[in-house]
Structure 1
Amino acid sequence: MWDRIEPLMPADPVRGRRWADHRRTIEAIAWKYRTCSPWRDLPAELGSFKTAHKRLLRWAVDGTWENIFAAVLAAADADDDIGWTASVDSTVCRAHQHAAGARKG
């Protein structure tokens, strides 16, 4: 799968430091959503949680995620690898009661 999305990843910025490894960052983002854990609980081997969170937001704004989804979907459709079965995940990540907007005091 990485071979399909690697060419779609944004290049390093012209100025400033090079970005952290895209593959490790995608693994960090996937881990966060797979476990429904807070960003701060990201394992050290997946890098900084700040890096992963910033990259997630940046790629959402600049359209990187849409490009990746469209390319992977087109490749799977061309290979006749899509059954078009809809699946709904019933996993719920609940906020703590104090974070639910209850009245204070």
Structure 2
Amino acid sequence: MSDAAWHTLTRVLPTRPRTDRRSRSERHLLEGIIHIACTRQAWTRLPSALGPFITCRQRYLTWHADGTLERICRATLPEQDKRWQQHLTDYLHSPQGRQPSKPGPTAGGTP
């Protein structure tokens, strides 16, 4: 993700409370989410250099639920960032990207 894209996207991200002590930067987490969207790998295969997969997955679920990822997909970004932006858009609307965080009950009523 380019610096210019990041500058644009900071305007669509939710604000964090001052008491929030998250150790990972929002940019770092977004880069992990983009990696998953572009590669379609399982979250557990997220390279460790991009942070803990659990943290990235939770932020993905939060941002998916609150509309942040849709705003990221609609933002006007530099040409060099449009490819990953399209991958993210496709991922959000795919069955893989719409998975709930926890499995739901099966037809037999048990998880």
TM-score range, shorter chain: 0.5 to 0.7
Q: 2:61 aligns with which of 34, 39, 57?
A: 57
Structure 1: gaps (5+ residues) = 77-88, 94-105
How much has 1:15 moved relative to structure 2? 4.7
What is aligned with 2:105?
none
How much has 1:38 moved relative to structure 2? 1.0
1:47-101 deviations in Å (ceiling 9; x for gaps) = 010111111110111111233334x14x78xxxxxxxxxxxx8xxx8xxxxxxxx
Q: Distance in 2 between matches of 1:69 and 1:38?
A: 21
Structure 2: gaps (5+ residues) = 79-89, 91-95, 97-111
What is aligned with 1:25?
29
Percent identity among equivalent residues? Answer: 33
Q: Distance in 2 between matches of 1:30 and 1:5?
A: 13
Stretch deviating more after TM superposition (41-50 or 2-11): 2-11
Distance 1:23-1:47 versus aligned 2 partners, 3 A rule: same
Q: Distance in 2 between matches of 1:13 and 1:49?
A: 23
**Greater relative CO (CA pairs within 8 A, separation 6+):** 2
How much has 1:24 moved relative to structure 2? 0.8
- Paired residues, what number? 76
When normalised by structure 2's length, the TM-score is: 0.57
Q: 1:34 aligns with which of 38, 60, 82?
A: 38
When normalised by structure 1's length, the TM-score is: 0.59
